[in-house]
Chain A
Amino acid sequence: MAYRILFCLFICGLIIVDGMPGIAQGAGEYFEEETMDPDQKIKVDSMAMEKIRDLSKYIGIIGNKSTPFSEANRVVARALELFADGSVIGVSTLDKKEVKQYEIKTYFERLMALSYDKVKIEWFDIQYISDLEQTPDGKYVGVVTIYQKFEGSQNDALVYKDVTKKDITIYVERKMMQVEGMDIDFWDVLLGDIVVSETML
Chain B
Amino acid sequence: MKTNSKFLVVVLALFSTSGVAAQGVTYDEGNEFILAETKQVNQFFRRFNGEEDYEGKRFSTNDPRYQQADMRRMYISNLFDNLDAGMVDSLKGSFIYTVTREKDPKFLNHRRNDWYAQLDVIIKYEKKERPCTLFLKMERENMGTKWVLANVYFKPFITLFKGVDFFGGAAQASVDESSPYLHPKSHEINFINLKKAFTRLDEIEKYAANEYNPDFLTLFIYELKRGNAEFLEVKNLKFHFFQIDNWYFEVSKVNRKSTNSGWLITELMRVAEKDKEILRKYIFFHENNHLPYSP
Contacts and interface: CB of A to CB of B under 8 A. Distances in A.
Nearest to A129: B56
Contacts of A34: 143
Contacts of B25: 201
A177 interface: no
Interface string B18-39: 0000000101001101110001
Given A19-B213, A21-B285, A130-B40, A201 B113 contact: no
Interface stretch (A1-9, A60-68, A178-186): A1-9
A95 interface: no
B70 interface: no
Given A126-B34, A149-B27, A17 B173 contact: yes
Contacts of A136: 141-146
A24 B151 contact: yes
A123 to B, nearest CB: 11
Contacts of B40: 128, 130, 143, 145, 167
A125 B34 CA distance: 10
Interface stretch (A51-59, A73-81, A97-105, A108-116): A97-105
Interface residues of B, number: 76
A38 to B, nearest CB: 6
Contact of B235 (A14, A17, A97): A97
Contact of B210 (A2, A19, A23, A31): A19
B214 to A, nearest CB: 6
A16 B278 CA distance: 8
Contacts of A101: 233
Interface string A5-34: 011001101111111111111111111111
Interface in B31-72: 31, 33-35, 39-40, 42-43, 46, 55-56, 58, 60
A34 B142 CA distance: 11
Nearest to A126: B34
Contacts of B142: 136-138
Nearest to A10: B282
A133 interface: yes
A28 B242 contact: yes
Contacts of A33: 111, 140, 143-145
Nearest to B289: A3
A11 B151 CA distance: 21
Contact of A124 (B31, B137, B279, B285): B31
A131 interface: yes
Interface string A115-149: 00000001011111111011111100001010101
Given A14-B167, A99-B233, 18 more contacts: A11-B278, A11-B279, A11-B282, A14-B278, A15-B173, A17-B173, A21-B213, A21-B216, A24-B149, A24-B150, A26-B113, A31-B138, A34-B143, A38-B58, A99-B234, A126-B34, A130-B43, A143-B42
Interface of B: 25, 27, 30-31, 33-35, 39-40, 42-43, 46, 55-56, 58, 60, 84-86, 109, 111-114, 137-138, 140-146, 148-151, 164, 166-170, 172-173, 210-211, 213-218, 233-235, 242-243, 255-257, 261, 267, 269, 275, 277-282, 284-286, 288-289
27 contacts: A1-B86, A4-B267, A14-B167, A14-B278, A15-B169, A15-B170, A15-B173, A20-B167, A21-B164, A23-B151, A24-B151, A31-B140, A33-B143, A38-B60, A124-B34, A126-B55, A127-B56, A129-B56, A133-B144, A133-B145, A135-B144, A137-B142, A138-B144, A143-B40, A143-B42, A167-B40, A200-B257
